[in-house]
Amino acid sequence: MRPGLLRRDALKQLTAAPLAAGLAWTAAEADTARKRANVARREAVAAQTTYAPQFFTADEYATLSALVEMILPADDRSGGAADAGVPEFIDFMMIDQPTQQDALRGGLAWLDVECQRRFDRRFTVCDAVQRGAVLEDIAWPDRAPASLSQGVGFFSNVRDLTATGFWTSQIGIEDLQYLGNRYRVAWRGCPPAALDRLGVRYDD
């Protein structure tokens, strides 16, 4: 949370932008952000340094990085959101989305304010249990109380951005095991075992 930012200021930022309607972007915009993020990551690795956010402040970027990793953590199958460059992807997305910048920036501020209210510490300083408690309350729109509606809208938007950033990354594509369009000499139909599970069969 930026110094001096109060809860009312965070809520003011959230309501100043069309957050409730959700963020919107085109496939071309996402593709451009992904390419730019990939270049930035490669340059940081080559320079043996860390990525410097282009839009977010250092504190905002740290909060975002921790948040997306909780949304999509690493598992035994693939790396998580941070490994896939999701924070960099979102950073570049925001550069090209000026009408949505206040919404996301305000949402990150709201998250810090809410953690400060509950645990007297910012999101990045909270432990996993404390972070999880806040996210559990805003991750399910149908169950969340009206008092957390701003947080719900923010979290839904970041979750969508995280999914887009992850599944357009190399790690995400490999996780999907997508092979692309491949030529097949002959189509033999659905495997018998799958037909049995479905309880269907081909007509004789």
pLDDT at 99: 83
pLDDT for position 192: 80
In the block, residue with structure tokens 């249990």: 129
pLDDT value for 182:
63
What pLDDT sits at residue 98? 85
pLDDT for the residue numbered 193: 79
Per-residue pLDDT, 186: 67
Contact between residue 100 and residue 94 where contact means Cβ atoms under 8 Å apart: yes
Mean pLDDT for each consecutive 10-residue tract of the chain (204 residues)? 42 40 72 89 89 95 96 86 94 88 93 96 96 94 90 92 89 73 66 78 70
Taking the C-alpha atoms of residue 72 and residue 90, their distance in angstroms, rounded to an integer, is: 14
CA distance 81 to 166: 6
Rg of the chain on CA atoms, in Å: 20
Rounded to the nearest angstrom, the gap between the alpha carbon of residue 13 and the centroid of all alpha carbons in its chain is 20
pLDDT given at position 3: 38
Q: What pTM does this model have?
A: 0.74
